[in-house]
Structure 1
Amino acid sequence: MRRGISIIVLLFLVILVLAIGSWVGFTGNRGAENSNSLTGELYEVTRGSFEITVPTSGELASEKQINIHNKLESGAVIIELVDEGSQVNKDDVLIKLNDEKIKNDIRNAELNVTAAENSLDNAESALLIAGKKRDSEIAKKQLSIELAKLALRAWEEGEVVAKKQQLTLAVQTAQKDHQRLFKKHESSVRLYEKEFLSKDELDRDEIALLNADATFKKAKLDIDVYENYTYKQDEQKKQSDLQQAIDELDRAQDRLASELSNLTATVSARKDQLASQAEELEKRKNQLHMCTVISPASGMVVYATSMGGRRDEGEPLKVGKSLYRNELVMTIPDISNMIARVKVNEALSGLVSPGQKATVTCDAYPDDVFDGEVLSVGVLAEGGGWRDPNRRDYTVEVKIANQENIQLKPSMRCSAEVFVEKVTDVFFVPIHAIHRTGKVVWVWLQSDGGFAQHPVELGRFSDSYAEIINGVSLESVVLLREPPASEVVGRLALGGEE
C-alpha cells in the first residue's frame, strides 16, 4: 500500500516539474533581448532582413557535349565498345558495328551499277543507230520527192510537148493526105467519065480517100482524147506520185521521231537508273564508313543509358546490343563547363529568371559550394510521373562558375539555391507561422495568457520567412504551431476551413 502511494506521489511531482518548466519557458524567454526563437515554438516579431531564395535539386550536366548517334539505317549491332568513363582522344575508335551485311549490300550494289552501265551503253548505242537510220531513211524519202518533182517536170516540159507535137503532126499529115487523095479522086472521076481510067482504078482511089478521111478524123479525135482525158490522167498521176512521196516523208519523219523519242526516253531512264544505283552504292559505302565511330574530340565517354531518365530504360549499352536508327549511344561532355540542371516547382517558377545568382552544392563534394548563374528556365512544366501525378516542375539550368580543379561529372546529384532578392527593414515571421483560410491570412498571436487568431497582410516571402505588412507590431509573439484548445483565447469568424 505504501509502495503504491509512493509511485503516485512521484508521478505527481514529475508532472508538476514539467508544468513549471513549460511556464518558465513560456514567460521567461519573452524578455530575452536579441532572441527571435523563444522556445522553438514561439517567435518574436522583429524588424530586419531576409533573403528570398528558391531551393532546388537535380543533377549536373555538361553545358556543351558531343552526342554520338547511330547513323546506320538498320542492322546496327555493337561488336566493339569503348569503356564508359574512359578518357578518349580525338579520332579514337568509340564503337565498331557489325558490317558484314553492309559489305554484301555493297557487292550487290556494285553489280547493279555494272548492269546499269551496260544497259545505258546499249540504250545509247541503239539511239545512235536509230539516229543514223533516220538520217538515211529521210534522205531516201527526200530523194524520192526530188525524183517525183523531176518526173513531173520532165512530163510537163518534155512528154506533154512531144505528145502534142506528135498529135498535131498526125492531124496535119492526115489532113494533107486527105486533101491530096480528095483531089486525086475528083481527077479519077473525070478521067473515068471520059473512059480514060478503069473502074477498078477509080475504086482504089475512092478507097484511099476513105482511108485518108478516117485517118484525118482519128488524128483529130486523138488530140481531143489526149487533151480531155489522157493529159489529165497523166497529170494527176504525176502529182499524186509527188504528193505520195511528200506524205511518205512526213510519215517517216513522225515514225522515226517517235522511235528516237522512245529511245531517248530509254537512255534517260537508264541514266536515272545508273544514278540511282550509283547513289545507292555510295550510300552503302557511307554506311560502311559509319560502322566505325570515331571520337570527334577529346573527353570522357558517357553512355546514353546512364544519363537522366534513361537509366532504367532498356538494356545497358554493351557488345551485342542492337541499335535503332539515330539512337543516342553516348556523349562526350565537356566537363570543364558544367551546369546544374535542377527542378523548380511551378508555384515558385515565376520567381526565377535568367541572370539571377545561385549557389550549387554536390552530394559528392558536400563541403564545396559553387557560385552559379541561372542560364535558362524551361518553357513547359514537366509532370511528376506516376509517383506524384499532380506535381509540376520547371527545368532550370544554372551555370557553375568557380569549378576550379574539382572534377565534376554529369549526373552527379546536386542542390541549388537561386537568389531572388533581399528584403530589408521589414517585419517578418517564419513561413510556417502563416495560416490561410479562404482569402484570410492570419497567425496565432500571443494574447491574454493564450493565443488568438489574428489577421495579417502578407508581403514578400521565401521558403523560410514571410514579410508582414500589416497586423503585427514590433515584439509581437506568434505561435509556430496549432495551440491546444485550452490556450485559445480568440478565434476569427472565418467562412471556410484552413
Structure 2
Amino acid sequence: MKRDSGVSMTSTEPLDRPPTRATRYAGLRRWWWLPAGLLALVVVGVAIAAVSGGSPDIASVSSPDSDAAWFTVERGPLTISVVTAGSIQSLDALVIKNEVEGRTTVLKLVEEGTQAKAGDVLIELDSSQFDDDRIEQEIRVQNAHAALVQATQKLAVVREEAKVDIDAATVDLELARLDFEKYTADQGEYRQELRRAETKITIAEARLERAEDKLEWSRKLETEGYITGSQLKADALAHQEAQVEVELARNDKRLLEQFTLKRQTAALTSALRQKEFALTKTRHLAKSKQVDAEVEERARLLTHQREKQRLEKLVTQIAKCTIKAPVDGMVVYASSTQSSFRDMDLLIEGAEVRQHQELIRLPTAGKLQADVKIHESMLNRVRVGLAVRIETDVISGVVFNGRVSKIATLPDAQNRWLNPDLKVYNCTIELDADTEGLRPGSSCRAEIVTEHHEEALFVPVQAVRRVDGVPVVYVRSGSAARARQIEVGRNNSVMIHVTKGLEEAERVLLSPPMGAGGK
C-alpha cells in the first residue's frame, strides 16, 4: 500500500455501473487541470486551422506563432491502463443463499457489519404459509397411513384365503381322483360288482339245475303215484322261478358291462376334470386377488411415502426460514456488493426474496479481491497477471496493489439483459496482503496497467491524424508545419506512444488542419 504521488495517464473504460458521486469527484480532483488544458489547446488549434484554410491534401501549413498550439515531443515514463469501477469482496467468502422455495418475506434481519458467530440467527423469513400447509399435510399423512394399514391387512387376508381355497380345491381333486381309481382299478368297485353279478348267475344256474332235477323226479314219482299232482305243480313253479332268476342275473351282468360301467366311468372322469379345472381356477383367482391386493398395498405405501416426504419437505422449509451463520464472520449484505436496478433486490426487513437469491456474504479470511467489469472494447488489452492499482473512498488517497487473477469467458448475463448493446466481462483482481482498512462491499476504482514504458516518446492523441490509414503529425519546420508519417503504439486517451518517426524536443501541431485527416 502506498500514497498516490502523481498522475497516471489512463483510458477510462465504459462502465456497466457508474461509480458513486464521491468516487467520481475524488478522481476528477486529481487531474482537473488536464481536460481544461486540452480543451484550450483544441480551441486554439481549431481557430488556427480555420485561419489557415488548408486544403485536404496539403503536405505543410503555415506555422502558428502561439506556443499553446504546439506540443514538444517528450521522452519519459508512459503508462497505458484501463480504468474501471467495481467493489471490494472477500477472497474466500461464504455465500448464504435463500433455500426456501418460491418467494418469502424477510421478517427479521441482522444489521450489516455485525460480527456473527457460528449459530447466530442472521435472517428470519416468513413461514406462516408453510405452518398452515404442515398441519394439512400431517392430516394427509395420517390418512395415508391408515389406508396403508388397511391395504396391508387386506393383503394378509387375501393370501390366507387363497391358501385355504387352494387347499380345499386340491382335496376335492384328490377325492375325485380316488373315486375314479376306486371304481376303475383291478380290485375296484366295478370288478367287485362284475364278480357279484357273475356269482349271482352261477348261483341262479345251480338253483335252476337243482330245480330241473327235482322237477324230473317229481314227474316220475307222480306217475308212480308217490306224490300228488299239487306237489308236482309246486316243483314246476320252483323250476320256473329258477329260470327267471338265471335270466335276471344274466341281464344284470349285461347291464353292468354295457351301460353301468360306461356311465359311471364317464361321470367319474367328468368329476375329475371339473375338480382339476376348479383347482386351476382357484389358483388363478387367488393369484389375481393377491396381485390386486399387493398393487393396492404398494400404491398405499407409495402414497404414504410421498405424503410423508412432503411433510418432511415442509418441515425442512420451515427450518430453512431461520437462517443461521455456519461460521464466524462479518455480515455483508449481498445486495451491497451487486449492482441492482430494482429496489426489491435490496435486502431489508419486509422485502421479498426468491429461491437461490444471494442474501449474505460471510468473509472467512482476511484476504480481499476486487470484482470489476471490463468493456469489450478494452478486453483485448487485459490479461491475467497484469498489475492493478486500487483506490477506494473508504481510505482516500491510498493506493492498494493487486493483479488480475481471472477474466470471464462470456459477457455478464445480467448487464447484457439490462442493456443488450453493452457487453462487459467480469474480472477478478486479487489484492496483495496489505489491505488494512478495506471493507468488503465498498466501491473501488481499479486501474489495470496494460503497458508501462520507463522511456518512451509520446504526443497528445489529438495531434495525430490518419491519412489513408497511416498516422501523420505536423512537425514544426521553420515557419511551416510539415506532415510526417509516424508509427505509433497504444494510447491512453490522453497520450499516444510514438515508436518511430519523431525525435525528442521536436514540436508538433496540436490541432492539424481539419482537411488533413483521413479515416
Flag whether TM exceeds 0.5 (same fold). yes
Corresponding residue to 1:78 among 76, 101, 106: 106
Letter of the aligned partner of 1:357 in structure 2?
A: A
Structure 2 distance, partners of 1:193, 1:484, is 185
Structure 1 distance, partners of 2:435, 2:289, is 79
Higher relative CO (Cα under 8 Å, sequence separation at least 6) belongs to: 2
Corresponding residue to 1:89 among 117, 129, 142: 117
Per-residue Cα deviation, 1:310-338 (whole angstroms, up to 9, x for no partner)? 16442743333333333333333458332
- Structure 1 position 430 matched with structure 2 position 475: no
- Tell me how far 1:138 sits from its aligned partner: 2.4
Q: Which residue of 2 aligns with 1:150?
A: 178
Q: Which residue of 1 aligns with 2:22?
A: none
Q: Which residue of 1 aligns with 2:192?
A: 162
- Structure 1 position 370 matched with structure 2 position 400: yes
Q: Which residue of 2 aligns with 1:123?
A: 151
- Tell me how far 1:183 sits from its aligned partner: 4.2
Corresponding residue to 2:482 among 446, 449, 452: 452
Q: Which residue of 2 aligns with 1:6?
A: none
Letter of the aligned partner of 2:321 in structure 1?
A: C
- Tell me how far 1:402 sits from its aligned partner: 4.4
Structure 2 distance, partners of 1:484, 1:290, is 68
Letter of the aligned partner of 2:399 in structure 1?
A: V
The more displaced of 402-411 and 245-254 is 402-411
In angstroms, what is the RMSD of aligned CA positions?
A: 3.4
Alignment of 1:40-439 (within 5 A): 41-45=69-73, 50-74=78-102, 76-155=104-183, 156=185, 157-185=187-215, 205-310=235-340, 312-314=342-344, 316-333=346-363, 336-381=366-411, 390-412=421-443, 414-423=444-453, 427-439=457-469
- Tell me how far 1:342 sits from its aligned partner: 2.5
- Tell me how far 1:92 sits from its aligned partner: 1.5
Structure 1 distance, partners of 2:269, 2:419, is 101
- Tell me how far 1:171 sits from its aligned partner: 1.3
- The 8 Å contact of residues 170 and 279 in structure 2, kept in 1 or not, is answered as yes
Structure 1 distance, partners of 2:417, 2:131, is 46
Gaps of 5+ in 2: 1-43, 49-65
Q: Which residue of 2 aligns with 1:488?
A: none
SS at the partner of 2:349? Answer: coil
- Tell me how far 1:88 sits from its aligned partner: 2.3
- The 8 Å contact of residues 370 and 402 in structure 1, kept in 2 or not, is answered as no
- The 8 Å contact of residues 335 and 407 in structure 1, kept in 2 or not, is answered as no
Per-residue Cα deviation, 1:402-446 (whole angstroms, up to 9, x for no partner)? 44421333141x222222344466654333322224523222232
- The 8 Å contact of residues 54 and 463 in structure 1, kept in 2 or not, is answered as no
- The 8 Å contact of residues 335 and 408 in structure 1, kept in 2 or not, is answered as no
> What's the % identity of the aligned pairs?
24
Gaps of 5+ in 1: 1-17, 23-37, 486-490
TM-score by length of 1: 0.79
- Tell me how far 1:147 sits from its aligned partner: 2.5
- The 8 Å contact of residues 137 and 310 in structure 2, kept in 1 or not, is answered as yes
- The 8 Å contact of residues 489 and 496 in structure 2, kept in 1 or not, is answered as yes
- Tell me how far 1:205 sits from its aligned partner: 4.9
1:357–1:319 Cα change, 3 Å: closer
Structure 1 distance, partners of 2:347, 2:386, is 38
1:57–1:109 Cα change, 3 Å: closer
The more displaced of 282-291 and 433-442 is 433-442
1:253–1:226 Cα change, 3 Å: same
- Tell me how far 1:218 sits from its aligned partner: 2.8
- The 8 Å contact of residues 371 and 402 in structure 1, kept in 2 or not, is answered as no
The more displaced of 348-357 and 52-61 is 52-61
- Tell me how far 1:371 sits from its aligned partner: 0.9
1:288–1:434 Cα change, 3 Å: same
- Tell me how far 1:39 sits from its aligned partner: 4.1
Letter of the aligned partner of 2:207 in structure 1?
A: D
- The 8 Å contact of residues 173 and 272 in structure 2, kept in 1 or not, is answered as yes
TM-score by length of 2: 0.76
1:293–1:54 Cα change, 3 Å: same
Structure 2 distance, partners of 1:392, 1:280, is 44
Structure 1 distance, partners of 2:121, 2:97, is 14
- Tell me how far 1:172 sits from its aligned partner: 1.0
Structure 2 distance, partners of 1:391, 1:136, is 81
Structure 1 distance, partners of 2:67, 2:86, is 35
Structure 2 distance, partners of 1:323, 1:461, is 46
Structure 1 distance, partners of 2:104, 2:476, is 73
1:479–1:346 Cα change, 3 Å: farther
The more displaced of 463-472 and 237-246 is 463-472
Letter of the aligned partner of 1:394 in structure 2?
A: Y
How many correspondences in the alignment?
Answer: 453
- The 8 Å contact of residues 394 and 438 in structure 2, kept in 1 or not, is answered as no
Letter of the aligned partner of 1:372 in structure 2?
A: G
1:297–1:40 Cα change, 3 Å: farther
Q: Which residue of 2 aligns with 1:11?
A: none
SS at the partner of 1:133? Answer: helix
- Tell me how far 1:97 sits from its aligned partner: 2.1
- Tell me how far 1:122 sits from its aligned partner: 2.1
- Tell me how far 1:368 sits from its aligned partner: 0.6
- The 8 Å contact of residues 457 and 468 in structure 1, kept in 2 or not, is answered as yes
1:77–1:394 Cα change, 3 Å: closer
